[in-house]
């Protein structure tokens, strides 16, 4: 892990992931929701429904529904789609491309509510800023720790350090359970509903780590990732109990490559061990890689427990590194700066974020990997999704 000798920076780092929480709107227009984008690699897998749980990476508008004042509801979020949709990007997310590739319309955010949205083809329960562990468990660990100076500084920026959303993985699972209770009325009926459905569980956990990073030490810190992953594994067991037959489990992105991480540690520039060969932060990437390693081991256990269920790891980490190393060929002129932001270091500054007054996007978001310093541009999401669909689809044993 990175050194913890500068509390302010560390707090900022956790902030980063808090911000991933900023709400968005959602595809309010039918047009937008039902539009399919012709990008997905060929695959023969088509599903009746997709259900998604997770955090900002997959949030198509839940946080935006929870917090209408969220930056995700403000221009230039959604600029490529013509209006903010609640997604943390200029346009579409990976989950949108996955939906298209697997024959399902873009997923409506569950928190929009049944009166406003259709959930016949599945639902998206992912909420930006969500933690894998329940808020009560984090609170019992004293996470995130209170620092009045820091909290006060954030408040002056209109940001709140403590839980921006309480819709952690277990809350999302409750929503799924309640949705299924209303949709199918016997074990057989539910199994029938879910037998040709696809589940995405994650990615999730980055936010837990940003809290834990600031507040945990030693053995507590070492036990934290296994605890986070146990909770994810338990969620997968529960949805298999509901009747899920195909589950995709995304791992963590290389968090140390994101502008939000890099900008806060740029003062470490001279420290030779601080960056890896991609010029990403070693500490955060090691944490993400450790999460992924434990997650993959948990998936192997689950496969033994449930030999009739397809459980597939989605390698977000290497998908991102692939985009990074092919950046030039893919048309990304800037690999590490935010397209939409401000400030002198990686165009990212917590006091002046994308969506705030006077903060402008770059002229062509397709030339950037990072949209706002924390989330990816549509173009980066598209390339990530292409890479991932090519690896996931054959493992789903369709057709």
Ligand X SMILES: *[C@@H]1O[C@H](CO)[C@@H](O)[C@H](O)[C@H]1NC(C)=O
User: Which tokens go with 200?
Assistant: 């995405």
CB closer to ligand X out of 127 and 280: 127
Among the listed ranges 28-36, 170-178, 206-214, 263-271, the one in contact with ligand X (CB under 6 A) is 170-178
CA Rg value for the chain: 20
Binding mask 213-232 for ligand X (x = CB under 6 A): --------------------
Site string for ligand X, 101-120 (x = CB under 6 A): --------------------
**Residue for token pair 């007054």:** 357
Cβ at position 178, least distance to ligand X in Å: 4
Stretch that binds ligand X, among 37-45, 177-185, 189-197, 261-269 (CB under 6 A): 177-185
Strand spans (E) along the chain: 49-53, 122-124, 197-201, 246-250, 310-314, 334-338, 368-370
Count the residues of the shown chain that bind ligand X, applying the rule CB under 6 A: 8
Stretch in the footprint of ligand X (CB under 6 A) among 114-122, 174-182, 296-304, 356-364: 174-182
C-beta of 86 vs 254, nearer to ligand X: 86
Q: How far is the CB of 136 from ligand X (least distance, A)?
A: 7
Residue/partner pairs of 151-159 with CB below 8 Å, 24 or more apart: 154/15, 154/350, 157/350, 157/351, 159/15, 159/18, 159/19, 159/350
Is residue 183 a contact point for ligand X (CB under 6 A)?
no
d(CA 177, CA 159): 32
Q: Is the four-CA dihedral 66, 15, 202, 317 of positive or negative sign?
A: positive
- Output the smallest distance, CB 166 to ligand X, in A: 4
Q: Does 181 bind ligand X (CB under 6 A)?
A: yes
Residue number, 168 or 347, with CB nearest to ligand X = 168
The secondary structure element, H or E, covering residue 268 is none
CA distance 60 to 298: 27
271 binds ligand X (CB under 6 A): no
| Beta carbon of residue 132, minimum distance to ligand X (angstroms, whole number) | 16
Residue 15, token pair as written in the block:
């902030």
For the bound state, the minimum distance from the C-beta of residue 250 to ligand X, rounded and expressed in Å, comes to: 24
Q: Is 177 in the site for ligand X (CB under 6 A)?
A: yes
70 lies in the binding site for ligand X (CB under 6 A): no
Our measurement of the distance from residue 337's CA atom to the centroid of its chain's CA atoms, rounded to an integer in Å, reads 19
Closest approach, Cβ 398 to ligand X, in A, equals: 29
Task: Please identify, among the stretches 26-34, 172-180, 305-313, 352-360, the one whose residues bind ligand X according to the rule CB under 6 A.
Answer: 172-180
Closest approach, Cβ 336 to ligand X, in A, equals 31
- The stretch among 141-149, 161-169, 278-286, 363-371 that binds ligand X (CB under 6 A) is 161-169
Q: Taking the complex as a whole, how short is the minimal distance between the CB of residue 160 and ligand X, in angstroms?
A: 8
Which of 3, 187 has the CB closer to ligand X? 187
Among 33, 127, 135, 201, contact with ligand X (rule: CB under 6 A): 135
Least distance to ligand X, CB of residue 55, Å: 15
With tokens 């509390």, the residue in question is 7
Q: CB 66 → ligand X: shortest distance, Å?
A: 7
Q: Which of 174, 189, 192, 222 binds ligand X (CB under 6 A)?
A: 174
Nearest-angstrom CA–CA distance, 7 and 13? 10
Q: Determine the straight-line distance between the first and last CA of the chain, rounded to whole angstroms.
A: 44
> How far, in Å, CA of 107 to CA of 59, rounded?
10
Instruction: For the CB of residue 334, give the shortest distance to ligand X in the complex, in Å.
Output: 34
| Residue selected from 8, 44, 140, 178 as contacting ligand X according to rule CB under 6 A | 178
Q: C-alpha 293: how far from its chain's center?
A: 18
Residue from the set 6, 118, 166, 286 that interacts with ligand X by CB under 6 A: 166
Q: Does 165 bind ligand X (CB under 6 A)?
A: yes
Of 330, 310, 344, nearest to 378 by C-alpha is: 330
Which of 139-144's residues contact partners 24+ apart within 8 Å by CB, and which partners? 141/212, 141/215, 141/216, 141/220, 142/215, 143/211, 143/212, 143/214, 143/215, 143/216, 144/14, 144/211, 144/214, 144/215
Residue with tokens 């903010």, as numbered in its chain: 84
In the complex, the residues that contact ligand X under the rule CB under 6 A are: 135, 163, 165-166, 174, 177-178, 181
């Amino acid at each position: 892990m990175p050194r913890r000798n500068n509390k302010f920076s560390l707090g900022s780092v956790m902030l980063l992931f808090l911000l991933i929480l900023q709400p968005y709107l959602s595809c309010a227009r039918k047009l937008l929701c039902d539009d399919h984008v012709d990008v997905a690699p060929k695959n023969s897998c088509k599903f009746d429904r997709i259900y998604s749980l997770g955090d900002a990476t997959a949030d198509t508008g839940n946080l935006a529904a929870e917090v209408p004042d969220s930056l995700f509801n403000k221009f230039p979020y959604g600029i490529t789609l013509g209006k903010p949709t609640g997604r943390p990007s200029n346009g579409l997310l990976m989950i949108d491309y996955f939906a298209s590739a697997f024959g399902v319309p873009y997923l409506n955010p569950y928190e929009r509510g049944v009166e406003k949205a259709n959930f016949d083809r599945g639902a998206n329960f992912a909420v930006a800023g969500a933690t894998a562990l329940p808020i009560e468990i984090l609170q019992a660990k004293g996470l995130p720790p209170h620092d009045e100076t820091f909290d006060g500084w954030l408040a002056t920026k209109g940001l709140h350090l403590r839980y921006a959303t309480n819709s952690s993985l277990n809350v999302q699972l409750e929503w799924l359970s309640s949705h299924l209770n209303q949709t199918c009325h016997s074990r057989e009926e539910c199994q029938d509903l879910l037998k040709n459905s696809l589940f995405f569980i994650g990615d999730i956990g980055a936010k837990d780590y940003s809290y834990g990073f600031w507040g945990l030490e030693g053995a507590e810190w070492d036990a934290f990732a296994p605890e986070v992953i146990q909770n994810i594994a338990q969620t997968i067991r529960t949805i298999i109990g509901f009747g899920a037959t195909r589950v995709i489990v995304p791992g963590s992105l290389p968090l140390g490559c994101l502008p939000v991480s890099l900008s806060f540690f740029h003062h470490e520039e001279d420290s030779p061990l601080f960056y890896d060969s991609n010029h990403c932060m070693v500490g955060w990437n090691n944490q993400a890689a450790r999460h992924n390693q434990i997650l993959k081991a948990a998936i192997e256990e689950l496969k033994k427990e449930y030999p009739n269920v397809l459980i597939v790891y989605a390698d977000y980490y290497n998908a991102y590194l692939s985009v990074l190393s092919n950046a030039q060929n893919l048309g990304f002129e800037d690999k590490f700066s935010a397209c939409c932001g401000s400030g002198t270091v990686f165009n990212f500054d917590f006091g002046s974020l994308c969506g705030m007054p006077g903060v402008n996007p770059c002229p062509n978001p397709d030339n950037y990997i990072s949209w706002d310093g924390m989330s990816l541009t549509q173009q980066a999401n598209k390339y990530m999704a292409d890479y991932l669909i090519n690896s996931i689809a054959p493992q789903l044993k369709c057709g």
